[in-house]
Structure 1
Amino acid sequence: MTAATASDDLAERFLSMLAAERGAAANTLAAYRRDLEAARQVLGDVAGADVQALEGLGSAWSSLAASSLARRCSALRQFYGFLIDEGLRADDPSGGLPRPRTLRPLPRLLSHDEVGRFLACADEEAAGERPEAVRLLVLLELLYGSGLRATELVSLPLASVPRDAPFLHVTGKGGQQRMVPVSTRSRAALSRWLALRKGTSRFLFPSSGASGHLTRVRLFQLLRELAARADIDPTRVSPHVLRHAFATHLLEGGADLRVLQMLLGHADVATTQIYTHVDGARLVALVNSRHPLAGAQKAL
């Protein structure tokens, strides 16, 4: 077996670990596999590469966008960490990897007032108990009230609807399951929808299409159409924007970052930290009012 072949075998073991222990989704595993293959084309033996070999990746990948380079370096960094954990390498060569500077863009955000108008419009349209309008109200309530991802929402099985406990059972990325709270408003809207919902589909939001449930594309369209009727710029609205508003507004209300991580289904709290872009004045006020030394000057 050549060194390159052995390296490929180790890469597959690494990907298997990601799937088994971290619940990595199929798309994530495919991306990691492509990144490791790109490294193999330059290095040959990826697993046995030293610091000097990795330093050469900067010039080999100089045409890549900073975000693509950062992703490849992250994949390699985790691969070498896996080799060390498994006792297959004693040293960590990842210090030789390029260090691209990337700025992660902040998602768009709706204000409290805009979300209020959005919900008020959906509520008004659902007053006549038209099934499509009530369904849209429920979709909006769950996006903003529970912070669900679009795919999680449209694929909710009917069995996930709460009976006695005010929680939804959600299957997120990588098949990871979590429980998210359902507000009193959302539960009331859900009850209205269940009374109007027809058919025997196993999905909460059934569709006549091949997927069996409402599609992400159709959800996106419905939200933008509602935004226009609520006098909100449709280009600023998407399922993710409402999930982002859920997270940001909870943090502004004092929610703990770790709790928010659990509610959003993030594997790493670093992903959740993007939602902490609250204004500087509020952060200063928070430190001044909550820090143990905040009242020390007054006591002197």
Structure 2
Amino acid sequence: MRAPDQDLQWISTFLDAQAAELGAARNTLLAYGRDLRDLVQWMAVRQLSFAKVQQSDVEAYLISCDAEGLSRATRARRLSAIKQIYRFAFEEGWRDDNPALQIKGPGRAKSLPKTLDIAEVDRLLEAARNSGRREIDRQRNTCLMELLYATGMRVSELVSLPVSAARGDPNLLLILGKGGKERMVPLSPPARAALSEWLTSRDAHEEHRATQGHKPSRFLFPSRSKEGHLTRHRFYLLIKELAVAGGVSPDKVTPHTLRHAFATHLLENGADLRAIQALLGHADIATTEIYTHVLDARLAELVHQHHPLAQQPPEED
């Protein structure tokens, strides 16, 4: 296959292949596209192109990213995107080498994920039950939060849930995760109750909209957004509002924090690490193992705070 003439065509062809062959998630494709377009802008100033770039050029680009003050995680992600497009180009015969292959990334800072204790989660759930101008808003907020904490879903998985997955008072939800992989997650009794209540109100609202000529939504959490469902950004703002209402520091709370709380609380109560891996949809057990470190850190903190031998004796005058 002949290489495209324009750099943006390289990107679009690469992204199309990622979507068709690997089932890459939309958010992953958007991130690849943003990172690679940034590289194209950098190359244009230097009269370079994907076809001409050498290893030294990729290294120079990464140095410029560092000079801009970009985080290690962002630089590592950009290098990953560059390696991926050049691996694709090599396989397609557009180039006979991969100029990024031998470059080692900056790595990611090893930090423990932020989580919440059970009391904080309870306050968030209580805030969801009482926040919203209308009853239907409060029911939706409660359902969102109960499902998120009960299942550990990614926020993109939650907001895009099809309503068909929630029909019939299910004990389990079928979730479409990264790379098009499906997994089943059980629902807690409070989550099932919140889901049932929300479905009743949601369906009544959709029936009313149908009388006004609107097409019924296929999503559990419909909205007027371009996607047709509640957006990740709107839910991010909502959970911050609930944190304030529940007296929980907003800095500690994101949709992903509830996912971390789900995993950490399961582990604290004796759940098997492999089971947690399956529930979270992690491809690699090493990703799930980070929660053992979270638990270790919390146990150490408890010892330092409460064990009598950990208390420093007062200094003598």
- The answer to whether the superposition gives a TM-score over 0.5 is yes
Cα distance in structure 1, aligned partners of 2:150 and 2:144: 10
Q: Which residue number corresponds to residue 157 of structure 1?
A: 162
Q: Which residue number corresponds to residue 21 of structure 2?
A: 21
Q: Which residue number corresponds to residue 139 of structure 2?
A: 134
Q: Which residue number corresponds to residue 221 of structure 2?
A: 205
- Root-mean-square deviation (Å): 4.3
Cα distance in structure 2, aligned partners of 1:179 and 1:157: 14
Cα distance in structure 1, aligned partners of 2:295 and 2:198: 38
Cα distance in structure 1, aligned partners of 2:8 and 2:247: 55
Identity of aligned residues (%): 43
Cα distance in structure 2, aligned partners of 1:279 and 1:80: 40
- State which of 193, 197, 201 in structure 2 corresponds to 1:192: 197
Write out aligned runs for 1:223-234 (5 A).
223-234=239-250
Q: Which residue number corresponds to residue 294 of structure 1?
A: none
- Would you say the 8 A contact 1:141–1:185 is kept in 2? yes
Which AA in structure 2 matches 1:190? L
Q: 1:57 to 1:222 in 2, by over 3 A?
A: closer
- Would you say the 8 A contact 1:35–1:72 is kept in 2? no
Q: Which residue number corresponds to residue 145 of structure 1?
A: 150
Cα distance in structure 2, aligned partners of 1:238 and 1:143: 11
Asked if residue 247 in structure 1 is aligned to residue 251 in structure 2, the reply is no
Q: 1:149 to 1:214 in 2, by over 3 A?
A: same
- Would you say the 8 A contact 1:150–1:216 is kept in 2? yes
Asked if residue 110 in structure 1 is aligned to residue 113 in structure 2, the reply is no
- State the TM-score, normalized to the length of structure 2: 0.66
Which AA in structure 2 matches 1:46? F
- Would you say the 8 A contact 1:150–1:239 is kept in 2? yes
- State which of 100, 108, 113 in structure 1 corresponds to 2:106: 100
Number of equivalenced pairs: 281
- Would you say the 8 A contact 1:54–1:96 is kept in 2? no
SS in structure 2 opposite 1:278?
helix
Q: How far did 1:213 drift?
A: 4.5
Which AA in structure 2 matches 1:22? L
Cα distance in structure 1, aligned partners of 2:39 and 2:283: 22
Cα distance in structure 2, aligned partners of 1:96 and 1:265: 30
Which AA in structure 2 matches 1:144? Y
Q: 1:90 to 1:208 in 2, by over 3 A?
A: closer
Q: Which residue number corresponds to residue 291 of structure 1?
A: none
- State the TM-score, normalized to the length of structure 1: 0.69
Which AA in structure 2 matches 1:37? V
Q: 1:192 to 1:59 in 2, by over 3 A?
A: closer
- State which of 32, 45, 48 in structure 2 corresponds to 1:44: 48
Q: How far did 1:234 drift?
A: 3.6
Q: Deviation digits for residues 132-185 of structure 1, max 9, x if unmatched?
A: 433332221101111223343334332120426522233456766544332232
- Would you say the 8 A contact 1:43–1:49 is kept in 2? no
Asked if residue 168 in structure 1 is aligned to residue 182 in structure 2, the reply is no
Which AA in structure 1 matches 2:40? E
Q: Which residue number corresponds to residue 290 of structure 1?
A: none
Which residues of structure 1 form unaligned runs of 5+? 285-300
Cα distance in structure 1, aligned partners of 2:283 and 2:36: 20
Which residues of structure 2 form unaligned runs of 5+? 207-215, 301-317
Which AA in structure 2 matches 1:23? G
Asked if residue 236 in structure 1 is aligned to residue 252 in structure 2, the reply is yes
Which AA in structure 1 matches 2:296? G
Q: Deviation digits for residues 240-274 of structure 1, max 9, x if unmatched?
A: 22122123323444555565455344566666565
Cα distance in structure 1, aligned partners of 2:55 and 2:226: 51
Q: Deviation digits for residues 6-43 of structure 1, max 9, x if unmatched?
A: 87766554333322222232413422431552564458
Q: Which residue number corresponds to residue 30 of structure 1?
A: 33
Cα distance in structure 2, aligned partners of 1:228 and 1:37: 42
SS in structure 2 opposite 1:71?
helix
Q: 1:140 to 1:58 in 2, by over 3 A?
A: closer
Cα distance in structure 2, aligned partners of 1:154 and 1:233: 23
Cα distance in structure 2, aligned partners of 1:266 and 1:34: 29
Q: How far did 1:115 drift?
A: 1.5
Q: 1:29 to 1:208 in 2, by over 3 A?
A: closer
Cα distance in structure 2, aligned partners of 1:247 and 1:260: 7
Cα distance in structure 2, aligned partners of 1:144 and 1:45: 46
